[in-house]
Amino acid sequence: MNIEVQDTAAAARTLRASTRSGRTLRTPCFAPVATGGALKGVLTTDLPDHAFDLLLSNTYHLLLRPGLDVIESLGGLHRILDWDGAILTDSGGFQVFSLSGTRTIDNEGVSFRNHIDGGLLRMTPESVIDAQERFGSDIAMVLDVCPALPATKAELTHAVDTSLAWARRSAAARTREDMDVFGIVQGGFDTELRQRSALATVELGFDGYAIGGLSVGETAAEMYLGIEATVPFLPEDRLRYLMGVGRPDNIVEAVSRGVDLFDCVLPTRNARNGKLLTRAGFLNIKRAEYRLDDQPVDAECTCPACTRYSRGLLRHLYKSRELNYYHLATLHNLWYMADLMRDIRAAISTGGFDDLRAEVCRRYAETEPV
53 is catalytic: no
Ramachandran class of 50: left when φ > 0, alpha when ψ lies in -120 to 50, beta otherwise: left
| pLDDT computed for residue 206 by the predictor | 98
In whole angstroms, what is the distance from residue 49 CA to residue 32 CA?
Answer: 14
CA separation, residue 115 to residues 95, 112, 120, 143, 301 (Å): 11, 9, 10, 19, 38
What φ, ψ does residue 225 adopt, rounded to 5°? -60, -40
Ramachandran class of 292: left when φ > 0, alpha when ψ lies in -120 to 50, beta otherwise: alpha
DSSP, residue by residue, 164-219: HHHHHHHHHH---TTSEEEEEE--TT-HHHHHHHHHHHHHT--SEEEE-S-SSS--
144 is catalytic: no
Tell me how long the chain is.
Answer: 370
- CATH number (3.90.1300.10, 3.20.20.105, 3.40.50.300, 3.20.20.70) of 2-263 reads 3.20.20.105
Name the nearest CA neighbour of 163 among 176, 177, 182, 179: 182
> What residue ranges of the chain are covered by domains with CATH 3.20.20.105?
2-263
| pLDDT computed for residue 102 by the predictor | 84
In whole angstroms, what is the distance from residue 213 CA to residue 148 CA?
Answer: 8
CA separation, residue 251 to residues 20, 139, 142, 300, 360 (Å): 26, 21, 23, 20, 10
In the set 144, 190, 207, 263, the catalytic residue is 263
| pLDDT computed for residue 370 by the predictor | 54
In the set 90, 180, 260, 339, the catalytic residue is 90
Question: DSSP label at 142?
Answer: P
| pLDDT computed for residue 98 by the predictor | 82
| pLDDT computed for residue 256 by the predictor | 98
Please give the model's pTM, rounded to 2 decimal places: 0.96
CA separation, residue 219 to residues 46, 209, 302 (Å): 34, 22, 33
| pLDDT computed for residue 369 by the predictor | 62
DSSP, residue by residue, 211-250: E-S-SSS--HHHHHHHHHTTGGGS-TTSEEEETT---HHH
Q: What's the average pLDDT block by block, 10 residues per block, for the chain (370 residues)?
A: 93 98 98 96 93 97 96 98 97 81 91 87 96 98 94 96 98 98 96 97 98 94 97 97 97 98 97 97 97 98 97 98 98 98 97 98 86
